[in-house]
Structure 1
């Protein structure tokens, strides 16, 4: 049995019945639904169209629900977007402060406890790179390594830090329940760290009375360190 799959991410650009039929005939095996975007109503409509296109082509198409996972973001800037230049000092704080080109708040108040001097901090999908120089109370002081423009609610990624946020956010649980009821065939879990993260997904599935295969996305160093336990969780 061929286990490798051609997975296509669906969205507004590929949404019509005709486009889905074309993808299936070209070899798509799995339709990925990205729950970082879109409403449940939009996902339901897309799901119905995938099933209709699969029936028309006589192909078995899997539906993958890819959960967003925990998101750490900047708060807001008082006067709009700011540009950070290499060598600038920039502080991310757990305090509620108006953001400017020197400081901004974060939605994750536990950030100062999770990072240490030398840690890498990426903002806006890695377009801006910072390095932690000091943690002082609620403030994480950094220096800009790679500059760029940042603005309200841009994402923060901490590649090397052991972040203590749950792998399943409240949104993820709601999305998981919806996807299971919708009829998804697989679930992808973002930012897996250990076996407990997988167990949390299984717990929600058991509450819904429906288990489907879980794909653990290895995006954090902790997942590599705990790989054996993560695999055994399945």
Structure 2
């Protein structure tokens, strides 16, 4: 069974990789939304040379909407505040006395017409769309927090049909294949065409290299469109990852268990791999033991025939990354 650990601030050198490996990590996940090529290359070489059983997973950012790098400050907003959003290319315009936040990916504001809500940071922050005023989207804060660059943004029901594989992803694919990654996971997949394009890019790159093995392809399911198109997506991939952190605001928290059950059944019928990610052992970000609901949920997933789990914030930013991996391994061994 896959025990996937996200490399991040708390796991970012050879010693921490050793710790994770000794506790049961068998897949090292590198999130290419936030990547340092030099350090990542060093860690991949270390893994390849020392841990033959550990696979390297390249997680591409895909068409996830984020607060742009152009937003160089941090700003706390409170319930009732008025906040404006814009596309990146318009952020250099001067908006006097307005709180303006640039978003990535969006090419224009037309895709926001008739939509109601913008979420940030896994729906812990919420903005009600009031109006589209020229080059700005006017919103009122319903749940506040701190806005900073790279924070994830969800806009339920936004049309993503014109959002193709972006230039960063293409560059990252070439880099990852040159380092021999074992698995490529594309985030924010919406339809099979996203995967077909990804596979085409991989084939073209490997042909150019004149060598290299084709990696496993996983699709991360995080959007309503992906759920609706899951049958055709499964035809093109080796497995899927349920990204619950984004799936909750993109769909509805009460729908997520039903979505998980439906997709698990379909992956088993098609003999594809099913991996669950986000909020697995979330309580262990701050304490040394899991909660009973977390253990019970993991038990049920294992009993249902899951293929693996992806630890994210629990290990990349949590206080007890090693213990978290050990706990997950112990649970898997106990209930498998």
Whether TM-score is above 0.5 comes out as yes
Are 1:110 and 2:113 matched, yes or no? no
What do the CA deviations read for 1:144-170 (whole angstroms, capped 9, x no partner)? 111223245654332332234535221
Are 1:5 and 2:2 matched, yes or no? yes
Are 1:218 and 2:229 matched, yes or no? no
How high is the TM-score relative to the length of structure 1?
0.82
Tell me which protein shows more helix as a share of its residues. Answer: 2
- Alignment length, in residue pairs? 226
Shift of 1:45: 0.6
Aligned match of 2:94: 98
CA RMSD, aligned part only?
A: 2.7
Q: Are the aligned partners of 2:189 and 2:226 in contact in 1 as well (CA < 8 Å)?
A: yes
What do the CA deviations read for 1:13-72 (whole angstroms, capped 9, x no partner)? 3344443333223221111112122322211110111122215xxxx2111111122344
What are the within-5 Å matches in structure 2 for residues 146-225 of structure 1?
146-151=143-148, 154-164=151-161, 166-209=163-206, 210-225=213-228
Are 1:145 and 2:138 matched, yes or no? no
Secondary structure of the structure 2 residue equivalent to 1:98: coil
Q: 1:65 to 1:108 in 2, by over 3 A?
A: closer
Q: Are the aligned partners of 1:34 and 1:65 in contact in 2 as well (CA < 8 Å)?
A: yes
Q: Are the aligned partners of 2:119 and 2:126 in contact in 1 as well (CA < 8 Å)?
A: yes
Q: Are the aligned partners of 1:74 and 1:107 in contact in 2 as well (CA < 8 Å)?
A: yes
The match for 1:73 among 67, 73, 87 is 67
Are 1:54 and 2:51 matched, yes or no? yes
Q: Are the aligned partners of 1:92 and 1:141 in contact in 2 as well (CA < 8 Å)?
A: yes
Q: 1:170 to 1:178 in 2, by over 3 A?
A: same
Larger displacement relative to structure 2 (136-145 or 10-19): 10-19
C-alpha separation between the residues in 1 aligned to 2:110 and 2:228?
Answer: 21
Larger displacement relative to structure 2 (212-221 or 121-130): 121-130
How high is the TM-score relative to the length of structure 2?
0.59
Larger displacement relative to structure 2 (98-107 or 36-45): 98-107
Aligned match of 1:128: 125
Q: 1:101 to 1:146 in 2, by over 3 A?
A: farther
C-alpha separation between the residues in 1 aligned to 2:149 and 2:231?
Answer: 39
Are 1:228 and 2:231 matched, yes or no? yes
C-alpha separation between the residues in 2 aligned to 1:206 and 1:89?
Answer: 47
Larger displacement relative to structure 2 (186-195 or 224-233): 224-233
Aligned match of 1:86: 79
